[in-house]
């Protein structure tokens, strides 16, 4: 018995000693990010590796021009001090900013930009945005200009070339043997931060003291811990240990807002989550069925029940509001308001028969029973589809949900092996055009059985394709808006997909020790920490509060 007591005493003493040693926080201002990525860090920072680029693009490696996706693509000159379109919008010339230095002290120049794009050409695996599918050539002009020549007019590609391609230093990358498998453990960039320490659990970024934007950044250190599951990440936010969140938090009022008066959140919508129809399917290729479903879904109910109201209801035009509200054809958007009676009458007019118990049969006499594929791991999507199921049942359409593992789901979705699919195009772009193009452009599709990039419903229409290509030839905002209006009409008249809710950027912030955050009133960048290069723009605006 005495031994047990001694052991207990020892344990208690040890615990007390450990508890008393607090972790000494370093001096200076800092911000800690809480963004569950479901992975520990590899400590690789290759900005052309799709799974690590968000850790270096923007903060370490910078872009030519910053494009604000929350302000319809308004631009801010960054590494380039200016740009001009020429030759029928087939050439794009950037002038480089003088006086910019890499973090190792060597000067940045137009040659680095040329080198970066040449590297993407030589290594298609690095060209994540397919810039070289439209580029013809890139060449240097004089000492400070780089000229991009395109195969066709390619105005929308400005976003991918200027904003989404981080520029790397030639004097370091030229000696990299294989840039595809290059890990880049000690990145040298022009950006406001340098990576100062990394372990699988946390990355520490330190201020670049010779940054070209004088006096910036104002925050000395950025901590980016790795979270493999959601709950610990949310707990860090609720406790205030992390100040910048990019998290889905269930019941955010009770769990986050009520914990501290300095806690705030804003979820700006960016792209739609849609019901995709397989247009090669004999039943849903009938437009009456698609229109009836569009009337039968109560989108605000799906948003409230399935998405906690975080992701607002969408509209049939495919324009995400309020983010792209200025592009919206309000009259077109108001069609397909929730109207089950209309859904029933459309089906009846199209020759579908309603039986005594209210269920429909197709004109050929089979029950109108549809199947929708969904990702079983996305609990919010599963809940949303359950709401849709009930709403369709109310008008007499039977819908069966197949909740699949994400690999099976992806295989079926990309290869067209589905009847209906609940899905979102998570990439989008800085204007509504990008998402509409992803959904409607026939070149983004593929025959059933082959991998389609984004046009999974297999929509194909020459007039629509022509409209999409015309947009690429104009920089005139009025013309662009006229074209998007016509694309909205396509979405409303042909119902190739039904936008149901609008997926958002997850963003929480704490104003106790830090100011300058993105707010709804001042949306100067996309606010989620996983948005690049936007997160660097946010870090440059942050400052110690008070």
Partner 1 sequence: MRFVVRRVAFFVATLWAAITINFLIPRLMPGNAAIAMLGRYRGRINPAALHALEIAFGINTHQGLVSAYFSYLGNIVRGRFGTSLTFFPDAVMHEVLQALPWTLGLVGLTTILAFIAGTLIGLISAWRRGGMLDGVLPPIFVITSAFPYFWLALLAIWLFAIKLGWLPENGGYDVKTNVAWSWTFIADVIRHSILPAATILATSVGGWILTMRNNTISVLAEDYVRMARAKGLSSWRIMWTYAGRNAILPNLTGFAMSLGFVVSGAILVEFVFNYPGVGWMFLQSVENQDYALMQGLFLMITVAVLVAILAADIATAILDPRTRDSR
Q: Which of residues 381-420 bind partner 1 (CB under 8 A)?
A: 406-411, 414
Print the SS3 string covering 321-387: CCCCHHHCCHHHHHCCCCCHHHHHHHHHHCCCEECCCCCEECCCCCECEEEEEEECCCHHHHHHHHH
Site string for partner 1, 438-467 (x = CB under 8 A): x------------x-xx-------------
CB of 424 to partner 1, least distance (A): 8
Q: Which is nearer to partner 1, 449 or 521 (CB)?
A: 449
End-to-end distance of the chain based on CA atoms, in angstroms?
A: 58
CB of 539 to partner 1, least distance (A): 17
127, 329, 502, 534: which one binds partner 1 (CB under 8 A): 127
6, 12, 174, 180: which one binds partner 1 (CB under 8 A): 180
Q: Which of residues 30-69 bind partner 1 (CB under 8 A)?
A: 30, 32, 38-40, 42, 44, 46, 49-51
Q: In 3D, which of 526, 501, 497, 35 has the Cα closest to residue 308?
A: 501
28, 86, 142, 200: which one binds partner 1 (CB under 8 A): 200
8, 10, 174, 197: which one binds partner 1 (CB under 8 A): 197
Residue 25 found at the interface with partner 1 (CB under 8 A): yes
Question: The tokens 């739609």 sit on which residue?
Answer: 272
DSSP string, 232-249: HHHHHHHTTS-SEE----
Q: In 3D, which of 429, 363, 369, 441 has the Cα closest to residue 398?
A: 369
Q: At residue 253, what are phi and psi to the nearest 5 degrees?
A: -65, -50
Residue 545 found at the interface with partner 1 (CB under 8 A): no
Residue 5 found at the interface with partner 1 (CB under 8 A): no
Tell me the HSE value of 49 on the side-chain side, using a 13 A CA sphere. Answer: 17
Site string for partner 1, 482-521 (x = CB under 8 A): ----------------------------------------
- The first and second tokens of residue 469, run together, are 């290509």
Residue 339 found at the interface with partner 1 (CB under 8 A): no
Query: Among the residues of 127-198, which ranges form H helices?
Result: 158, 170-173
Q: Residues 54, 530: contact at Cβ < 8 Å?
A: yes
Q: In 3D, which of 50, 57, 51 has the Cα closest to residue 38?
A: 51
76, 82, 84, 133: which one binds partner 1 (CB under 8 A): 133
Instruction: Report the distance separating Cα 279 and Cα 277, nearest Å.
Output: 6
Q: Which is nearer to partner 1, 37 or 474 (CB)?
A: 37
Q: Which of residues 230-289 bind partner 1 (CB under 8 A)?
A: 231-233, 235-236, 239
Q: Which is nearer to partner 1, 195 or 233 (CB)?
A: 233
Q: At residue 202, what are phi and psi to the nearest 5 degrees?
A: -155, 145
Return residues touching partner 1 (CB under 8 A): 14-15, 17-19, 21, 23-26, 30, 32, 38-40, 42, 44, 46, 49-51, 123-130, 133, 180-183, 197, 199-202, 223, 225-229, 231-233, 235-236, 239, 406-411, 414, 425-427, 438, 451, 453-454
């Amino acid at each position: 018995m005495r031994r047990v007591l001694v052991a207990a005493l020892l344990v208690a003493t040890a615990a007390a000693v450990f508890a008393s040693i607090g972790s000494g926080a370093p001096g200076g201002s800092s911000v800690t990010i809480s963004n569950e990525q479901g992975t520990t860090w590899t400590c690789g920072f290759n900005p052309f590796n799709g799974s690590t680029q968000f850790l270096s693009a923007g903060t370490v490696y910078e872009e030519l021009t910053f494009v604000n996706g929350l302000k319809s693509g308004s631009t801010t000159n960054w590494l380039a001090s200016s740009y001009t379109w020429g030759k029928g919008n087939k050439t794009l010339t950037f002038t480089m900013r003088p006086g910019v230095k890499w973090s190792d002290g060597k000067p940045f120049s137009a040659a680095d930009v040329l080198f970066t794009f040449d590297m993407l050409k030589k290594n298609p695996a690095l060209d994540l945005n397919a810039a070289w599918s439209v580029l013809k050539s890139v060449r240097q002009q004089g000492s400070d200009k780089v000229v991009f020549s395109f195969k066709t007019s390619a105005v929308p590609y400005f976003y991918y070339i200027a904003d989404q391609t981080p520029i790397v230093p030639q004097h370091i990358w030229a000696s990299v043997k294989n840039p595809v498998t290059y890990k880049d453990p000690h990145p040298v960039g022009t950006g406001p931060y340098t990576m100062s320490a990394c372990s699988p659990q946390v990355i520490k970024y330190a201020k670049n003291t010779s940054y070209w934007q004088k006096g910036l950044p104002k925050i000395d250190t950025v901590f980016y811990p790795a979270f493999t599951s959601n709950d610990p990440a949310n707990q860090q936010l609720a406790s205030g240990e992390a100040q910048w969140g990019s998290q889905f938090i269930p019941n955010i009022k009770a769990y986050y807002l009520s914990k501290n008066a300095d806690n705030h959140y804003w979820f700006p919508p960016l792209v739609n989550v849609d019901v995709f129809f397989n247009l090669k399917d004999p039943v849903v290729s009938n437009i009456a069925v698609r229109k009836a479903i569009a009337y039968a879904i109560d989108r605000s109910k799906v948003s409230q029940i399935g998405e906690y109201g975080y992701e607002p209801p969408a509209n049939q035009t495919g324009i995400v509001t309020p983010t792209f509200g200025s592009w919206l054809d309000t009259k077109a958007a108001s069609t397909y308001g929730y109207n089950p009676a209309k859904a029933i009458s459309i089906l009846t007019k199209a020759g579908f028969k309603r039986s005594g118990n209210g269920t429909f049969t197709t004109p050929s006499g089979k029950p109108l029973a549809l199947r929708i594929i969904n990702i079983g791991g996305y609990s919010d999507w599963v809940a949303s589809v359950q709401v849709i199921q009930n709403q369709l049942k109310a008008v007499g359409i039977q819908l069966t949900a197949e909740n699949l593992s994400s690999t099976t789901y992806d295989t079926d979705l990309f290869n067209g092996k589905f009847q209906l699919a609940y899905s979102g195009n998570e990439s989008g772009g800085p204007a509504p055009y990008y998402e509409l193009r992803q959904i409607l452009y026939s070149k983004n599709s593929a025959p059933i059985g082959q991998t389609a990039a984004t046009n999974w419903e297999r929509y194909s229409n020459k007039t629509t394709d022509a409209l999409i290509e015309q947009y690429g030839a104009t920089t005139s905002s009025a013309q662009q808006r006229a074209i998007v209006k016509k694309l909205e009409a396509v979405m409303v008249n042909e119902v190739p997909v039904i936008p149901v809710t609008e997926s958002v950027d997850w963003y929480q912030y704490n104003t106790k020790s830090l100011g300058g955050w993105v707010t709804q009133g001042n949306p100067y960048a996309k606010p989620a920490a996983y948005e690049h290069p936007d997160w660097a723009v946010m870090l440059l605006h942050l400052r110690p509060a008070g």
